[in-house]
Amino acid sequence: MSESNGQVVIANDVSRRYGEGDAAVDALVDVNTSFQRGRFTAIMGPSGSGKSTLMHILAGLDKPSSGTVVLDGDEITSLDDGELTKLRRDKLGFVFQFFNLLPVLTAEENLVLPLSIAGRKPDGAWLDQLIHTVGLEDRRTHRPSELSGGQQQRVAVARALVSKPAVVFADEPTGNLDSKASADVLRLLRQAVDEFGQTVIMVTHDPEAAAHADRLITLRDGRIVHDDSPGSADDVIELMKQLA
């Protein structure tokens, strides 16, 4: 189900408090934001600013203490664990910092895993296109231990795209890679948005990564303090200095 205004994820008055009483920590405070379909958004902020908490709540991996999240037409904050698991399986793709590939499976088996778990067969033409896009035609039968870090992350990006999800969430996707591998992965995410119409929401601390996005949301102390196009990597560095 699509939102009439093209917003695929909407957060209304989202707060997240951990702990009780004097020990309570407010990770997010009254966050209101939405994400348009087919755009690439980066989320940044100093350590402890709430950026990972926000992503986890948007993706249904954590529940807000108050407020609501609507994801592709579904209000997810009231769903139970089983419903959330199904929603994540059907509507979301994930790219993590540490690849999260299964060592016993080949690159191709890892790539189609979300479909295998859902009992769905991959569309052969789409699978071939993805493998070609991520440049792993000659690595389909290799296991993760036979791939470089950059190749493993490219498999992880393809895996996130294989089910054509409503949203791909990327959590520090270049945090574990050298600069060349990082550039490859960011180019892939950009291509997924521009060519496949994918929606990507990425948490990062890397100004170079943020500069690939259409939009940069910056958090500090659990609140959004900046929301605009990122400009160049140098612009992002300047912004982060001002917020530090």
pTM of the model: 0.88
34: confidence class by pLDDT, cuts 50, 70, 90: very high
What's the CATH number for 38-60+78-243?
3.40.50.300
Query: How do the domains of the chain map onto residue ranges?
Result: 38-60+78-243
Task: At 119, give phi and psi (nearest 5°).
Answer: 70, 30
4: confidence class by pLDDT, cuts 50, 70, 90: very low
Give the model confidence (pLDDT) of 128-169 as tens digits. Answer: 888 888 788 888 888 888 888 888 888 888 888 888 888 999
Give Rg (Cα) of the chain.
Answer: 18
Mean pLDDT of 237-241: 87
Task: At 74, give phi and psi (nearest 5°).
Answer: -105, 130
Q: How far apart are the C-alpha atoms of 12 and 9, rounded to whole Å?
A: 10
Give the model confidence (pLDDT) of 59-105 as tens digits. Answer: 988 889 999 999 988 888 888 888 888 888 888 888 887 777 888 88
Task: At 64, give phi and psi (nearest 5°).
Answer: -70, 155
Three-class SS of residue 93? strand
40: confidence class by pLDDT, cuts 50, 70, 90: very high
Q: Name every residue whose Cβ is closer than 8 Å to that of residue 83 and which is 6 or more positions away in sequence.
A: none
Give the model confidence (pLDDT) of 47-71 as tens digits. Answer: 888 888 999 999 988 889 999 999 9
